[in-house]
Structure formats: structure tokens, C-alpha cells
């Protein structure tokens, strides 16, 4: 009970910070058409704002992981969420698409110091036999942020504009900063060690030599690319079919988040009933079903509902990968989780480019079906491994 209470208090402390980091991840996805019109860019170029955020998020991980291990994960998170707040204010004042792209990249750097370090911090506290359930609760905070980021951006933009949406996200980051700063006083001080870049490099090489680690990192890159690579094109595809636009795209992203929250609610029961490997395979089946519906949905309601099934299926796969990663190198968990986030967001960086290329060459239906078959194939590979 004492341990469970300690884990619960830690997750409560990190919740708003993780929420604000996830909030900005999908913030521009449903706004592609609006931003393109207001800032004078093409829809294809504006869709790459997702990649502009994801690539720096990925590239900062090899630095922030060992820095968090050395200087203290909570300390690094506090600085990162403070910077995130300021950068979102700057995004709200961006005069053109080029400036917004640069600021979006800097925002990705700041957000990179939040959820991955929070995962490592909770994993340091939670024992292996209950870690997946504990992480699913932390993931619920990130999912809630994604729901708010996608849906609020689409629903609030007609009333406060996209600049107002950026300021609202900045306010959420400010609340996370205050909570982490003041609430952290009730926890033991984190030890501070000297940052050793050569030691960090050796740690990365050691982890990457492990065959299990390479499979997990490749898997999460494929998953991130094919799931999130499609999101920036939702509004465009709905518009082309004449069944929706920005609002419906935002609701589909929100439904994805709601599906993820549903997973966190049933994770303990499903794991106990069918085990991790069968759950991963079930997740792959749900992903294939979702992308099939995306490809052929005749109404916005069906398209949006499919987002919920995708969220449930994707997090069945993702949370299992995430849990296995925390066991790869227990003495350098921040570094191992950082590599996980690096590959996940590297996949998200390439995702919009790959999805857009398939869409351009073969159409949206083919692009969605390719994504679905890749995800169920990935689930099959993971389900066969211990």
C-alpha cells in the first residue's frame, strides 16, 4: 500500500506536465487548412508542421536521456516545461509559415524533455510486475493531452483563432510548470551526478547491441510512422469526400485519444485475461479494422468512430513495447526510454512524408490500407516474441 501510494503521488505530480507535453504534439494536425490559408502556404507544406515538431523531439532524446539520469529527471522536466510555455507564446505571434515551422521545431525540443523522462521516472519507482499498469496510468495523462490538443484546436479555432489556441496551450504548460515546481517539494531530492558524455555514448552502444532492443526500437518507429503519419491528412481527405473538414478531423483525433483512454481502463483486465502477446495481436487487428474503415467510410461519423478503435489498438501495441523497453537496461533506464522516444518520433517525422507520397501516387484508400497491413504485421512479429 505504501508503495502504491508513492507511485500514485508521483503520477499525480507529473500528470499536468505530461498532459501539456502531449497537448502540443497534435495541436496543428486539424489546423492544416486554416494555417495554410492564413499564412500563405500550401496544404502539403503546412502538413509538415507535424514533422517539424517530431524530428527535433526525436533528436533531443539522445541528449536528454543521459542528462536526466545524471542531473535528475524532475529537474530537467521543470526546465523543459517552462521553455515550452514561452515557445508557445512565440508561436502565437508567428508572422508566417516559415517562422512558425522554426518555432514548432523548438517546441518539439522542449516537449522532448517531458513524457519520456516521466516514463523513466515512474519506471524507476514501479516494480516490474506492476509497471505496465502504472505506465498505462501515466499514458492516460498523455492521451488526455492528445485529446485536448486535437479536439480543442479544431473546436476553439473558429472562436479564438489558431493564435488563441497556441496561447491556451501555453497556459496549460504554465500550470504544469507551477505544479511540478511547487509539488516537487514534497518528494525526496534527486541525486545530482556529473554528466559524462562518453559514458552516455557507451551506454547507448551497449543498449543498441542488444537484439531485443533493436527489435523494439524498430517496431516503435514503424508504429509511430504509420499511425501518426496519417493524422495531418484527415481534414483534407474528409474534405475531398465532402463529408467533413477541420472539425471532423479534430474529432477523429480526439476519438483516437478516447480509445487510448479506454485501453488504460481495461489494461489490467486484458493483461490478466489473455496476456501481453495476445493483447498485442488484438491491437494489430483493431488497427487494420480502423484503417480499412478510414479508407472506405462513407460518413464522418464512421470515420470519427474508427479513430477510437485505432486508439485502443495502437496503445495495446505501444504500451507493451514501452514496458519491455523499461526492462532493457535498468541501470540506465532514462537512456533506454530516450532511445524509445527517439525512434518513436523519428517514425512520426517520416510518417507524414511517407503517407503523403503513397497518397499522391496511389490515393488515400491505398495509403490507409498500407498502414493497416503494416501495423498488423508488426503486431504479429511482436506477439511471437517474449
Residue where the block lists cell 483516437: 256
Q: What is the predicted pLDDT for the residue at 110?
A: 94
Fold held by 2-184+197-383: Growth Hormone; Chain: A; (1.20.1250)
Question: Does the global pTM surpass 0.75?
Answer: no
Per-residue buried b or exposed e for 115-144, using 16+ beta carbons within 10 Å of the residue's own CB:
bbbbbbbbbeebeeeebbbbbbbbbbbbbb
| pLDDT score recorded for residue 3 | 41
Query: Sign of dihedral through CA atoms 136, 263, 310, 259?
Result: negative
Domain-wise residue ranges, the chain: 2-184+197-383
Torsion of CA 229, 377, 257, 357, to 10 degrees: 10
Residue 93 is given by DSSP the state T
Residuewise pLDDT in 10s, the chain (386 residues) = 334 467 778 888 888 899 988 889 878 877 888 898 888 877 778 878 888 898 888 888 888 877 887 788 888 999 999 999 999 999 999 999 999 999 999 999 999 889 888 888 887 777 767 777 778 788 788 878 877 887 788 888 889 999 999 999 999 999 999 988 887 666 666 666 666 677 777 878 888 888 888 889 999 999 989 888 888 888 888 988 989 887 888 788 888 888 988 988 888 899 889 988 899 999 999 999 999 999 999 999 999 999 999 999 998 998 888 888 877 776 667 778 778 888 888 888 788 888 989 998 998 899 999 999 999 999 999 888 76
* Count of other CB atoms within 10 angstroms of residue 55: 19
DSSP letter for each residue of 28-87: TGGGHHHHHHHHT--HHHHHTHHHHHHHHHHHHHHHHHHHHHHH-HHHHHHHHHHHHHHH
DSSP 130: G
pLDDT for the residue 37: 87
Amino acid at each position: 500500500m505504501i508503495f502504491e501510494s508513492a507511485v500514485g503521488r508521483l503520477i499525480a505530480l507529473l500528470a499536468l506536465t505530461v498532459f501539456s507535453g502531449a497537448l502540443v504534439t497534435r495541436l496543428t494536425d486539424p489546423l492544416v487548412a486554416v494555417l495554410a490559408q492564413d499564412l500563405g502556404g500550401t496544404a502539403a507544406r503546412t502538413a509538415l508542421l507535424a514533422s517539424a515538431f517530431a524530428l527535433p523531439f526525436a533528436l533531443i532524446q539522445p541528449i536528454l536521456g543521459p542528462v536526466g539520469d545524471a542531473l535528475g529527471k524532475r529537474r530537467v522536466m521543470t526546465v523543459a516545461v517552462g521553455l515550452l510555455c514561452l515557445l508557445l507564446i512565440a508561436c502565437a505571434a508567428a508572422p508566417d509559415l516559415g517562422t512558425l515551422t522554426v518555432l514548432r521545431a523548438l517546441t518539439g525540443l522542449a516537449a522532448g524533455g517531458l513524457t519520456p523522462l516521466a516514463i523513466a521516472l515512474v519506471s524507476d519507482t514501479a516494480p516490474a510486475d506492476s509497471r505496465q499498469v502504472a505506465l498505462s496510468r501515466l499514458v492516460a495523462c498523455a492521451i488526455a493531452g492528445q485529446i485536448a490538443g486535437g479536439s480543442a484546436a479544431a473546436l476553439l479555432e473558429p472562436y479564438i483563432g489558431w493564435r488563441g489556441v497556441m496561447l491556451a496551450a501555453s497556459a496549460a504548460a504554465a500550470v504544469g510548470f507551477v505544479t511540478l515546481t511547487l509539488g516537487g517539494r514534497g518528494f525526496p531530492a534527486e541525486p545530482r551526478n556529473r554528466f559524462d558524455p562518453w559514458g552516455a555514448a557507451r551506454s547507448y552502444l551497449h543498449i543498441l547491441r542488444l537484439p531485443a532492443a533493436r527489435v523494439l526500437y524498430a517496431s516503435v518507429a514503424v508504429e509511430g510512422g504509420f499511425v501518426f503519419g496519417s493524422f495531418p491528412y484527415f481534414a483534407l481527405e474528409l474534405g475531398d469526400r465532402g463529408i467533413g473538414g477541420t472539425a471532423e478531423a479534430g474529432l477523429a483525433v480526439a476519438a483516437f485519444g478516447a480509445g487510448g483512454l479506454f485501453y488504460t481502463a481495461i489494461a489490467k483486465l486484458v493483461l490478466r485475461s489473455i496476456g501481453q502477446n495476445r493483447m498485442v495481436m488484438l491491437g494489430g487487428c483493431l488497427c487494420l479494422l480502423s484503417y480499412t474503415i478510414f479508407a472506405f467510410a462513407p460518413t464522418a461519423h464512421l470515420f470519427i468512430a474508427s479513430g477510437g478503435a485505432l486508439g485502443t489498438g495502437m496503445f495495446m501495441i505501444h504500451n507493451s513495447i514501452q514496458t519491455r523497453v523499461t526492462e532493457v537496461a535498468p541501470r540506465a533506464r532514462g537512456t533506454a526510454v530516450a532511445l524509445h522516444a527517439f525512434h518513436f518520433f523519428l517514425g512520426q517525422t517520416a510518417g507524414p512524408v511517407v503517407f503523403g507520397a503513397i497518397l499522391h501516387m496511389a490515393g488515400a484508400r491505398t495509403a490507409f490500407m498500407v498502414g493497416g497491413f503494416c501495423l498488423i504485421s508488426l503486431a504479429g512479429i511482436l506477439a511471437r516474441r517474449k
